[in-house]
Amino acid sequence: MLDIGTGSGAIAIAICKKTKKNINVLASDISPQALNVARKNIATHKLLSRVTIVRSNLLANIDKVPHIIVANLPYVKEKNARGLADPKLALVGGKNGYELIFNLLEQIKEKKYDKKTRVVFLEIGHNQARVIKKYATVLFPKAKITSKNDLAGYNRLITIEY
């Protein structure tokens, strides 16, 4: 499994803890500072044998095709970033918020991961499901693309199954 934009490693760690030992995770991030935090957290949970850390701008340094991709990438709009506590790099996805997610989908298509990767899970902003599903449908017309609500009732998870 590939966790893109792993940040503190929370998703990578939770998935290792909740699944059988046969899932190995590549945890990637563009930020070396984030990867240092992820490394510490992964070590604390004794998961260094299952989680490999790699610095990468989206898929740029990812060579192996993952079976599963998960990504909670930045999705906040540029103009809504002011006053937020986290660094801009962790939150802002572009002018409209969803540009980085679009870039990831384009790279999945370019690298032909859709031929081997089975499923992609994307956390998205509460009002982005329609536009992201539409774009994913254009790129991957044969895929099954669905979305799910979070506990507050907002559409926050997109699943793309190839």
Ligand X SMILES: C[S@@+](CC[C@H](N)C(=O)[O-])C[C@H]1O[C@@H](n2cnc3c(N)ncnc32)[C@H](O)[C@@H]1O
| Residues forming the site for ligand X (CB under 6 A) | 4-8, 10-11, 29-31, 34, 57-58, 72-74, 89-90, 100
Q: Min. distance of Cβ 33 from ligand X in angstroms?
A: 8
Q: Min. distance of Cβ 28 from ligand X in angstroms?
A: 6
Q: Min. distance of Cβ 122 from ligand X in angstroms?
A: 11
Q: Min. distance of Cβ 69 from ligand X in angstroms?
A: 12
Count Cβ atoms below 10 Å from residue 94 Cβ, excluding itself. 16
* Residue 79 tokens, joined: 């103009």
Count Cβ atoms below 10 Å from residue 19 Cβ, excluding itself. 12
Q: Min. distance of Cβ 127 from ligand X in angstroms?
A: 16
At 103, which helix (H) or strand (E)? helix 99-110
Evaluated on CA atoms 84, 73, 133, 51, the torsion sign reads: negative
When computed from its CA atoms, the radius of gyration of the chain, rounded to whole angstroms, is: 15
Identify which of residues 3 and 114 has a Cβ nearer to ligand X in the complex: 3
Q: Distance (Å, rounded) from C-alpha 115 to C-alpha 104?
A: 16
Identify which of residues 57 and 142 has a Cβ nearer to ligand X in the complex: 57
Phi, psi of 6 (to 5 degrees): -65, -25
Amino acid occupying residue 30: I
